[in-house]
Amino acid sequence: MVAMVRVDGSTCALAVGLGLVGLLGAARPVAAQPASPPAPRPWQVGVTDGQKATAQRWLDQGNELFVQDRYKDALVAYQQGLAVWDHPAIRFNVARTLIALDRLLEAEVNLEAAMAHGAEPLADVWAEAVNYRTLLAHQLATLAVRCTQAGVAVSLDGEALAPCPAETSRRVLPGRHVVVARRPDYLTITREPVVLGGQPARVDLTLIALRDAAVTRTRWPIWKPWAVVGAAAAVAGLGAVVELDARATLDDYRAALADECGERGCAGGRPSAATAALERRAVVRDRVGVSLMVAGGVGLATGVALLLANRPFTALPDQRGPRALTIAPLIADDAIGLVLSAAR
Protein backbone atom coordinates (compact mmCIF):
# COMPACT_ATOMS: atom_id res chain seq x y z
CA MET A 1 0.00 0.00 0.00
CA VAL A 2 1.47 3.40 -0.96
CA ALA A 3 0.25 6.76 0.33
CA MET A 4 1.21 9.80 -1.76
CA VAL A 5 2.01 13.22 -0.22
CA ARG A 6 2.51 16.27 -2.45
CA VAL A 7 5.14 18.74 -1.22
CA ASP A 8 6.78 21.61 -3.16
CA GLY A 9 5.70 20.26 -6.51
CA SER A 10 7.31 16.92 -5.77
CA THR A 11 5.73 13.75 -4.52
CA CYS A 12 7.05 12.18 -1.31
CA ALA A 13 5.65 8.65 -1.08
CA LEU A 14 5.35 6.87 2.24
CA ALA A 15 5.44 3.16 1.41
CA VAL A 16 4.24 0.77 4.06
CA GLY A 17 5.47 -2.72 3.36
CA LEU A 18 6.15 -5.37 5.97
CA GLY A 19 5.51 -2.68 8.55
CA LEU A 20 8.26 -0.34 7.28
CA VAL A 21 7.97 3.28 6.18
CA GLY A 22 9.77 4.35 2.99
CA LEU A 23 10.21 7.65 1.13
CA LEU A 24 9.94 7.99 -2.64
CA GLY A 25 11.51 11.18 -3.87
CA ALA A 26 10.61 11.17 -7.58
CA ALA A 27 10.02 14.68 -8.84
CA ARG A 28 6.72 15.70 -10.41
CA PRO A 29 6.35 18.66 -12.74
CA VAL A 30 4.78 21.71 -11.19
CA ALA A 31 1.88 23.42 -12.90
CA ALA A 32 3.00 26.49 -14.76
CA GLN A 33 2.78 29.74 -12.81
CA PRO A 34 0.85 28.43 -9.78
CA ALA A 35 -1.34 31.02 -8.22
CA SER A 36 0.00 30.28 -4.74
CA PRO A 37 2.81 27.74 -4.26
CA PRO A 38 2.17 25.38 -1.34
CA ALA A 39 4.06 26.25 1.80
CA PRO A 40 6.91 23.84 2.56
CA ARG A 41 6.41 21.44 5.41
CA PRO A 42 8.75 21.91 8.41
CA TRP A 43 10.67 18.70 7.64
CA GLN A 44 11.27 19.83 4.03
CA VAL A 45 12.69 23.27 4.63
CA GLY A 46 16.23 23.57 3.26
CA VAL A 47 16.38 19.98 1.99
CA THR A 48 17.58 19.51 -1.59
CA ASP A 49 16.48 16.86 -4.04
CA GLY A 50 19.95 15.31 -3.75
CA GLN A 51 19.60 14.99 0.00
CA LYS A 52 16.18 13.42 -0.42
CA ALA A 53 17.57 10.87 -2.86
CA THR A 54 20.46 10.01 -0.54
CA ALA A 55 18.14 9.64 2.44
CA GLN A 56 15.88 7.39 0.36
CA ARG A 57 18.78 5.07 -0.47
CA TRP A 58 19.72 4.73 3.19
CA LEU A 59 16.08 4.16 4.07
CA ASP A 60 15.70 1.40 1.48
CA GLN A 61 18.85 -0.26 2.77
CA GLY A 62 17.60 -0.05 6.35
CA ASN A 63 14.26 -1.58 5.35
CA GLU A 64 16.00 -4.55 3.70
CA LEU A 65 18.10 -5.14 6.81
CA PHE A 66 15.11 -4.77 9.10
CA VAL A 67 13.08 -7.49 7.39
CA GLN A 68 16.14 -9.74 7.73
CA ASP A 69 16.06 -9.16 11.51
CA ARG A 70 19.43 -7.42 11.30
CA TYR A 71 18.27 -4.67 13.60
CA LYS A 72 21.65 -3.23 14.54
CA ASP A 73 22.68 -2.84 10.91
CA ALA A 74 19.24 -1.46 10.03
CA LEU A 75 19.58 1.14 12.77
CA VAL A 76 22.91 2.29 11.39
CA ALA A 77 21.39 2.69 7.93
CA TYR A 78 18.40 4.62 9.26
CA GLN A 79 20.67 6.91 11.27
CA GLN A 80 22.74 7.60 8.16
CA GLY A 81 19.60 8.60 6.32
CA LEU A 82 18.47 10.68 9.29
CA ALA A 83 21.74 12.59 9.25
CA VAL A 84 20.98 13.62 5.65
CA TRP A 85 17.26 14.33 6.08
CA ASP A 86 15.50 14.49 9.43
CA HIS A 87 12.18 13.19 8.12
CA PRO A 88 9.47 11.96 10.54
CA ALA A 89 9.15 8.70 8.62
CA ILE A 90 12.83 7.92 9.11
CA ARG A 91 12.49 8.81 12.78
CA PHE A 92 9.60 6.40 13.04
CA ASN A 93 11.68 3.57 11.56
CA VAL A 94 14.49 4.41 13.97
CA ALA A 95 12.04 4.21 16.88
CA ARG A 96 10.65 0.89 15.71
CA THR A 97 14.14 -0.56 15.35
CA LEU A 98 15.14 0.63 18.82
CA ILE A 99 12.07 -1.08 20.24
CA ALA A 100 13.18 -4.30 18.56
CA LEU A 101 16.59 -3.83 20.21
CA ASP A 102 14.91 -3.24 23.60
CA ARG A 103 16.34 0.29 23.82
CA LEU A 104 13.06 1.74 24.98
CA LEU A 105 14.22 5.11 26.31
CA GLU A 106 15.87 6.03 23.00
CA ALA A 107 12.89 4.64 21.13
CA GLU A 108 10.50 6.95 22.97
CA VAL A 109 12.62 10.02 22.19
CA ASN A 110 12.66 9.23 18.49
CA LEU A 111 8.98 8.30 18.41
CA GLU A 112 7.97 11.62 19.96
CA ALA A 113 10.16 13.44 17.43
CA ALA A 114 8.53 11.49 14.60
CA MET A 115 5.02 12.35 15.83
CA ALA A 116 5.79 15.99 16.60
CA HIS A 117 4.40 17.18 13.22
CA GLY A 118 1.18 15.21 13.43
CA ALA A 119 -0.19 12.45 11.23
CA GLU A 120 0.53 13.95 7.79
CA PRO A 121 4.16 12.84 7.31
CA LEU A 122 3.47 9.38 8.73
CA ALA A 123 0.39 8.74 6.58
CA ASP A 124 -1.04 5.26 7.20
CA VAL A 125 1.35 4.36 10.05
CA TRP A 126 -0.01 7.01 12.39
CA ALA A 127 -2.27 4.54 14.19
CA GLU A 128 0.72 2.23 14.64
CA ALA A 129 2.75 5.12 16.03
CA VAL A 130 -0.01 5.88 18.55
CA ASN A 131 0.02 2.22 19.63
CA TYR A 132 3.78 2.35 20.12
CA ARG A 133 3.41 5.49 22.20
CA THR A 134 0.86 3.76 24.43
CA LEU A 135 3.08 0.70 24.74
CA LEU A 136 6.09 2.76 25.81
CA ALA A 137 3.99 4.81 28.23
CA HIS A 138 3.14 1.60 30.10
CA GLN A 139 6.67 0.21 29.99
CA LEU A 140 8.54 3.35 31.08
CA ALA A 141 8.07 5.70 34.01
CA THR A 142 8.84 9.28 35.00
CA LEU A 143 11.07 9.84 38.02
CA ALA A 144 11.07 13.37 39.45
CA VAL A 145 13.92 14.48 41.72
CA ARG A 146 13.41 17.66 43.76
CA CYS A 147 15.84 19.58 45.94
CA THR A 148 15.55 23.06 47.42
CA GLN A 149 19.00 23.68 48.91
CA ALA A 150 21.48 25.68 46.86
CA GLY A 151 24.84 24.15 46.07
CA VAL A 152 23.67 20.53 46.19
CA ALA A 153 24.94 18.27 43.39
CA VAL A 154 22.50 15.49 42.48
CA SER A 155 23.01 12.46 40.27
CA LEU A 156 20.61 9.80 39.01
CA ASP A 157 22.19 6.44 38.22
CA GLY A 158 25.53 8.22 37.93
CA GLU A 159 24.25 10.96 35.59
CA ALA A 160 24.44 14.51 36.93
CA LEU A 161 21.14 16.37 37.16
CA ALA A 162 20.46 20.11 37.20
CA PRO A 163 22.09 21.97 40.12
CA CYS A 164 19.83 22.61 43.08
CA PRO A 165 17.45 24.21 43.77
CA ALA A 166 15.59 22.46 40.97
CA GLU A 167 13.11 19.75 40.11
CA THR A 168 14.26 17.44 37.34
CA SER A 169 12.19 14.73 35.67
CA ARG A 170 13.68 11.80 33.78
CA ARG A 171 12.07 8.97 31.86
CA VAL A 172 13.48 5.76 33.31
CA LEU A 173 13.14 2.02 32.97
CA PRO A 174 11.20 0.20 35.70
CA GLY A 175 13.26 -1.13 38.60
CA ARG A 176 15.61 0.21 41.24
CA HIS A 177 17.46 3.48 40.66
CA VAL A 178 20.08 5.32 42.70
CA VAL A 179 19.82 9.02 43.55
CA VAL A 180 22.81 10.61 45.31
CA ALA A 181 22.96 14.17 46.69
CA ARG A 182 26.22 15.81 47.84
CA ARG A 183 27.28 19.17 49.24
CA PRO A 184 30.46 20.14 51.11
CA ASP A 185 30.05 20.07 54.91
CA TYR A 186 26.73 18.25 54.52
CA LEU A 187 25.88 14.63 54.97
CA THR A 188 25.76 12.81 51.62
CA ILE A 189 22.48 10.97 51.18
CA THR A 190 21.50 8.11 48.89
CA ARG A 191 18.00 7.12 47.92
CA GLU A 192 17.10 3.96 45.98
CA PRO A 193 13.52 4.35 44.67
CA VAL A 194 11.90 1.36 42.99
CA VAL A 195 9.97 2.57 39.95
CA LEU A 196 7.07 0.71 38.33
CA GLY A 197 6.29 0.91 34.62
CA GLY A 198 3.66 3.52 33.84
CA GLN A 199 3.71 4.86 37.41
CA PRO A 200 5.29 8.24 38.25
CA ALA A 201 7.76 8.36 41.14
CA ARG A 202 9.22 11.23 43.12
CA VAL A 203 12.24 11.74 45.36
CA ASP A 204 12.56 14.80 47.62
CA LEU A 205 16.05 15.51 48.90
CA THR A 206 16.96 17.47 52.03
CA LEU A 207 20.55 17.35 53.23
CA ILE A 208 21.59 17.69 56.86
CA ALA A 209 24.65 19.72 57.87
CA LEU A 210 27.43 17.64 59.38
CA ARG A 211 27.40 19.74 62.56
CA ASP A 212 23.71 18.92 63.01
CA ALA A 213 23.91 15.28 61.99
CA ALA A 214 26.92 14.24 64.06
CA VAL A 215 26.35 12.55 67.41
CA THR A 216 28.84 11.79 70.20
CA ARG A 217 29.27 8.13 71.09
CA THR A 218 31.57 5.80 73.01
CA ARG A 219 32.56 2.24 72.16
CA TRP A 220 31.08 0.85 75.36
CA PRO A 221 28.87 2.22 78.12
CA ILE A 222 30.92 4.63 80.21
CA TRP A 223 30.53 2.57 83.39
CA LYS A 224 32.23 -0.56 82.00
CA PRO A 225 35.86 0.69 81.86
CA TRP A 226 35.41 2.38 85.23
CA ALA A 227 34.08 -0.89 86.67
CA VAL A 228 37.26 -2.63 85.52
CA VAL A 229 39.39 0.11 87.12
CA GLY A 230 37.41 -0.08 90.36
CA ALA A 231 37.60 -3.86 90.59
CA ALA A 232 41.32 -3.84 89.87
CA ALA A 233 41.92 -1.17 92.49
CA ALA A 234 39.98 -3.25 95.04
CA VAL A 235 42.06 -6.35 94.27
CA ALA A 236 45.31 -4.38 94.51
CA GLY A 237 44.16 -2.83 97.80
CA LEU A 238 43.28 -6.25 99.19
CA GLY A 239 46.69 -7.49 98.17
CA ALA A 240 48.33 -4.58 100.00
CA VAL A 241 46.36 -5.40 103.18
CA VAL A 242 47.38 -9.06 102.99
CA GLU A 243 51.00 -8.08 102.40
CA LEU A 244 50.97 -5.81 105.47
CA ASP A 245 49.50 -8.66 107.52
CA ALA A 246 52.22 -10.98 106.19
CA ARG A 247 54.92 -8.56 107.34
CA ALA A 248 53.29 -8.23 110.75
CA THR A 249 53.14 -12.01 111.07
CA LEU A 250 56.79 -12.24 110.05
CA ASP A 251 57.67 -9.74 112.79
CA ASP A 252 55.75 -11.91 115.31
CA TYR A 253 57.70 -14.95 114.15
CA ARG A 254 61.02 -13.21 114.58
CA ALA A 255 60.06 -12.02 118.07
CA ALA A 256 58.89 -15.52 119.10
CA LEU A 257 62.04 -17.05 117.70
CA ALA A 258 64.23 -14.64 119.68
CA ASP A 259 62.37 -15.33 122.91
CA GLU A 260 62.40 -19.06 122.46
CA CYS A 261 65.90 -19.64 121.20
CA GLY A 262 67.86 -16.53 122.20
CA GLU A 263 71.63 -16.66 121.87
CA ARG A 264 71.93 -20.30 122.99
CA GLY A 265 69.82 -21.67 120.16
CA CYS A 266 66.61 -23.62 120.10
CA ALA A 267 66.14 -26.65 122.25
CA GLY A 268 66.47 -29.73 120.09
CA GLY A 269 67.85 -27.62 117.22
CA ARG A 270 64.50 -26.32 116.00
CA PRO A 271 61.81 -23.86 117.11
CA SER A 272 58.56 -24.98 118.56
CA ALA A 273 55.58 -25.88 116.36
CA ALA A 274 53.79 -22.63 117.26
CA THR A 275 56.78 -20.54 116.22
CA ALA A 276 57.23 -22.52 112.97
CA ALA A 277 53.50 -21.98 112.19
CA LEU A 278 54.02 -18.23 112.39
CA GLU A 279 56.74 -18.45 109.76
CA ARG A 280 54.61 -20.56 107.41
CA ARG A 281 51.66 -18.18 107.84
CA ALA A 282 53.84 -15.16 107.03
CA VAL A 283 55.24 -16.79 103.87
CA VAL A 284 51.79 -17.81 102.57
CA ARG A 285 50.28 -14.39 103.25
CA ASP A 286 53.24 -12.70 101.55
CA ARG A 287 52.73 -14.77 98.41
CA VAL A 288 48.99 -14.13 98.39
CA GLY A 289 49.44 -10.42 98.93
CA VAL A 290 52.03 -10.08 96.17
CA SER A 291 49.83 -12.07 93.75
CA LEU A 292 46.82 -9.89 94.50
CA MET A 293 48.82 -6.69 94.02
CA VAL A 294 50.19 -7.96 90.67
CA ALA A 295 46.70 -8.94 89.49
CA GLY A 296 45.33 -5.59 90.62
CA GLY A 297 48.12 -3.77 88.78
CA VAL A 298 47.36 -5.65 85.56
CA GLY A 299 43.68 -4.88 86.01
CA LEU A 300 44.40 -1.21 86.55
CA ALA A 301 46.49 -1.09 83.36
CA THR A 302 43.67 -2.79 81.46
CA GLY A 303 41.10 -0.39 82.87
CA VAL A 304 43.18 2.63 81.89
CA ALA A 305 43.55 1.24 78.36
CA LEU A 306 39.79 0.76 78.16
CA LEU A 307 39.21 4.31 79.38
CA LEU A 308 41.48 5.65 76.64
CA ALA A 309 39.81 3.49 73.99
CA ASN A 310 36.37 4.55 75.21
CA ARG A 311 36.95 8.24 74.63
CA PRO A 312 33.96 9.95 72.95
CA PHE A 313 34.03 10.17 69.15
CA THR A 314 31.83 11.79 66.53
CA ALA A 315 29.66 9.48 64.43
CA LEU A 316 27.29 10.12 61.55
CA PRO A 317 23.94 8.37 61.13
CA ASP A 318 23.50 5.78 58.40
CA GLN A 319 21.58 7.51 55.59
CA ARG A 320 20.60 4.31 53.81
CA GLY A 321 17.73 3.78 56.22
CA PRO A 322 16.98 0.96 58.63
CA ARG A 323 17.56 -2.63 57.70
CA ALA A 324 14.51 -4.62 56.74
CA LEU A 325 14.37 -8.04 58.37
CA THR A 326 13.19 -10.82 56.08
CA ILE A 327 12.17 -14.27 57.30
CA ALA A 328 11.78 -17.04 54.76
CA PRO A 329 11.25 -20.79 55.11
CA LEU A 330 14.14 -23.13 54.31
CA ILE A 331 13.30 -26.55 52.97
CA ALA A 332 16.18 -28.72 51.79
CA ASP A 333 16.93 -32.43 51.48
CA ASP A 334 18.64 -32.52 54.85
CA ALA A 335 17.28 -29.47 56.66
CA ILE A 336 14.09 -27.61 57.49
CA GLY A 337 14.11 -24.21 59.15
CA LEU A 338 13.97 -20.45 58.70
CA VAL A 339 16.36 -18.05 56.99
CA LEU A 340 16.74 -14.56 58.45
CA SER A 341 18.30 -11.83 56.32
CA ALA A 342 18.69 -8.09 56.77
CA ALA A 343 18.69 -5.73 53.79
CA ARG A 344 18.31 -2.01 53.28
**Between vectors from CA 18 to CA 1 and to CA 4, what angle results, nearest 5°?**
30
User: How confident is the model over 53-87, as pLDDT tens digits?
Assistant: 999 999 999 999 999 999 999 999 999 999 999 99
At 106 the pLDDT is 96
The predicted model gives 132-148 an average pLDDT of 95
Identify the three-state secondary structure at position 255.
helix
Q: Is the pLDDT of residue 32 over 80?
A: no
Of residues 331 and 285, more confidently modeled: 285
Do residues 310 and 222 touch, judged by C-beta distance below 8 A? yes
Round to whole Å and give the CA distance between 142 and 21: 29
Round to whole Å and give the CA distance between 300 and 38: 101
Q: Is the pLDDT of residue 265 over 80?
A: no
Ordered by start, the domain boundaries in the chain are 2-28+45-139, 141-213, 223-315
Round to whole Å and give the CA distance between 81 and 23: 11
- Cα distances (Å, whole numbers) of residue 219 to 214, 222, 249, 323: 16, 9, 46, 21
The predicted model gives 264-289 an average pLDDT of 79
At 84 the pLDDT is 95
Beta bridge partners of 202: 144
2-28+45-139: CATH topology is 1.25.40
At 97 the pLDDT is 97
Give me the percent of the chain exceeding a pLDDT of 70.
78
User: How confident is the model over 185-219, as pLDDT tens digits?
Assistant: 899 999 999 999 999 999 999 999 888 776 777 88
For the domain covering 141-213, report its CATH number.
2.60.40.1120
Give me the percent of the chain exceeding a pLDDT of 90.
47
Question: Phi and psi at residue 217, in whole multiples of 5°?
Answer: -135, 165
At 328 the pLDDT is 53
Round to whole Å and give the CA distance between 305 and 294: 17
Do residues 75 and 96 touch, judged by C-beta distance below 8 A? no
Identify the three-state secondary structure at position 54.
helix
At 193 the pLDDT is 94
Mean pLDDT computed over every residue of the chain:
81
Q: Is the dihedral of CA 111, 112, 114, 118 positive or negative?
A: positive
Q: Is the pLDDT of residue 334 over 70?
A: no
Report the DSSP pairing between strands 141-147 and 215-217. Answer: unpaired
Question: Phi and psi at residue 10, in whole multiples of 5°?
Answer: -120, 160
Burial of 79 (0-12, 13-18, 19+ CB in 10 A): middle
**Between vectors from CA 321 to CA 310 and to CA 213, what angle results, nearest 5°?**
50
The reported pTM is 0.57
Q: Please write down the HEC assignment for all residues of 266-330.
A: CHHHCCCHHHHHHHHHHHHHHHHHHHHHHHHHHHHHHHHHHHHHCCCEEECCCCCCCCEEEEEEE
Least confident of 138-142, 172-176, 297-301: 297-301
Of residues 129 and 212, more confidently modeled: 129
At 269 the pLDDT is 66
At 252 the pLDDT is 82
